[in-house]
Structure 1
Amino acid sequence: MFNKKSGIELIISEFIQENLYNVSKLKKNLGNGRLGRMINNMFNTVFNVIGRMQRASEEIRYLTNTIKANSSETRIASNQIASAMDQIAASTQNEARLSQELMNQINIVNDTSNVILKKSQYGADTTGQLKEKVKTTQNVLTELTEQINQLGMANRETANTMNELVDLTKRITEFVNVITDIAKKTNLLSLNAAIEAARAGEAGRSFTVVANEIRGLANQTESAVKQIEELSIAIQMGAQNSTNQINHSIATMETNIIKTDETNKTFSDLKQDIDNMIEVINEISGLTKKQIEQLSSSVQTAELITSAIQESATEIEEITSSIQQEDTAIEEIDNSIGKLDKLANELFNITYNYTSEKYLTDLSQKNISAAVNILQKLIEEPGIMEMNKNNHKKVVYSYYEKHKDIISTLLTLDSKGNVLAITSDTNVSNFVFREWFQKAIEGEIFCSRPYITVATNDVNVTVSAPIKDRAGNIIGVVAANVLI
């Protein structure tokens, strides 16, 4: 046994040189005297503190790396959301523009519809005057009734969809063609009446005047109908453009259908023809009025859509602002984590200087190699591959008893780092933060750098290996603290 004073000086000298391997060996030889026990307890406390600092530095490094990864994922998700918000904002602006264009098209169609309504009313007034003129010559045209009846109207089908403005204008064009046909027939009738009156000589002179007046009115009607036809073509073009815009921006626009009765009559006389012509003009006016009402409703709907789009744009701006604030907060967290990681690395390097690998002996290397061989045999045990706690305890303690001259602690863990079996007392139940666990769960057989284990206050290294099932999947880790 060496002199206590020189032994204490040697221990302190080795501690100052940061060689805890020798300190660990020398402190066991201080004897059981009061001073020896005090020095031994003091260095046990120092070892425990350094060991806890080493473990804390590893835990902090693991946590900072985990937070960094989560922060990176959060930043990526935040950027994806911001990109999506930009796309939505652009889409919203486009929808707002289309909505405004739609309102403009509806207003144009509405104005044109008002013009058609006025022209239709004028045509009705002109036709009414023609009807009064026909009444005065009804007795004279009795013999022509048979011929006029042969010039009856053809049947038409009317199935208008108010939402599809193109169909509506085509119907108006059909009505205009009917009026034009009647005006031409009236013109022809008046010509025939004039001819018949001329044949009657002096007695038919008065009927010639009336026939000429009827021709004049028919010409006026034909002129008015021509104007209506031009307007119908214009509204048909405008309605086609409007329909294309509506189909592009509002797929769910409700169609407005106005049904009309089919008309299929044989006119017995010119008066009945004129009555039908008046009915057609009045129907055009009615359809136009309904169209104007529907357009007014469409304008209100478009205004509501525009308002909703504007509200959505405001909400998108608020969300974008929140994302930017969140990104700033993430950046601040990253900066703080970076500082914490730097401090953890400094603490890690300082504490591990006391257990540098340069002090490992040939015997230490031999023990490490032996421990690796022990683990390789252990992971092949059926009781280990089944990942059953009770089986693990039996096998682990059996191996430990055989090799405790080399191994200070033997343990197994599941894939999450939770302890399944361990041969020493510890309050740590999860070792996911340890580098030796992380390397083994990735498939490596790993040997850690030397460190102080808090369980025994000794300098150890930990060797670890993955536990695999029969299919080759990694399902856990086995590790051993090696005496060095």
Structure 2
Amino acid sequence: MKDRNLTEITQKLNFTVVKRSISLKLIIAIMLSLIVSSPVSAFINSLIKQYIHGNYGVYINALISLLVTTVVILLFVRLIIIKPLNLVEEAMHTASEGDLTVTIRHNSKDEIGRLSSSFNVMINNLIELINKANHTVLKINDYSDQLSLISEENSKAIDHISSSIQKVASGAEGQAQNSIDLVYSAKEISKRMDQSASSIQTVANTSISANSKANAGNDSVNKTIYQMREIQDSVKKTSDVIHSLNIKSNKIEEIVGMITQIADQTNLLALNASIEAARAGEHGKGFAVVAEEVRKLAEQSGSATESIREIIREIQTVTNDAVESMNQGRKIVEKGMELVDHTGYSFSDISKYIEEISRQSQEVSTVVKEVNQRSLNMAKMIEEAASVTEQNSGNIQTITASTEEQSASMEEIASSISELNDMSDDLKGYLDSFKIVADTN
């Protein structure tokens, strides 16, 4: 009650201060209007006195002065009070429609300025509240999704456990009978283990003989490897010789080309000499005969060099084929070397495996004897386990009932989470109806 009275007193004081402040502004506006309108009234009065005399002039002057003063007062009131109030009213109307991005920019320290500041603070507080509510809704949605996922996983796990328990329960019933069969089987295993021990010893003896033959095969492979390496060296040398022959054939072809050029030049010189001999007349006949013979020799040289070139080209073709064949042969020999090496490694591995088999056969023989004894012990343990299985069957039924109750509880939790999601979505939709500045946090 005391707080309520204090609030009413504060509101009355605030109203009084606001009223006085507005009255003060009105007084200031009237004073300013009088100051502004006085020169105007004086000017109008002087004009009226020039043209109108008597009481009419006084009346008209008073009327015009009143109109001017009223207009000036209205302008000042609109500028000082009404315009800021319109800004506040527009901002409040915009905010009432859900747009909280609006702010009032009124820097005065009067009541309207304080009202604008309070409005801006209220908008900022609302924006902060909505942002916090949005963050809270998002966190609630995340937690709800996580809880829903966990609930689904737990439900699946419980269903799986329940199914597994039922399978175990059904299996436990037949396990007792199986235990009896296992006892009989264990005794049969003991008998066959004795037979296996004898067979394993035979395998060990056979492994020793196979190891000896594998060693002999490994020696043969080593000899083959040595011979394949000699073949590989021979093929490489032959390939190098053919490659050298190919290079020399190319050089011969270059020399033949030079000879062809010389023969062409000689033929040209002989032709020029024949022309000069014809010009010399009788004195040049002997020289013409010599020039003709030189020309014939040049043509024969050209024909011979062309034949040599053809032969060299055939040699180069054969040489290139031989080089290609030698390269293929070398690749085949290298591949054969790899295969022979691989075979040697295989024989070596086989020998090691056979030795390992022989060693393990001895160990297995010893283990078989131990297994034989343990089979007898196992038969006794299986008989004891059969009685324990019967007890477990009753416990499994109790666990099955508990898992069914747990599954029902998880379904109720899932339903509650779904309702929480719906409520969160409704709240998010309501908050989204407000237009606010984006949260930078």
TM-score normalised according to structure 2 size:
0.35
Q: Choose 1 or 2 for highest CA Rg.
A: 2
Q: Which has the higher contact order (CA 8 A, sep 6+)?
A: 2
Q: Which has the higher strand share?
A: 1
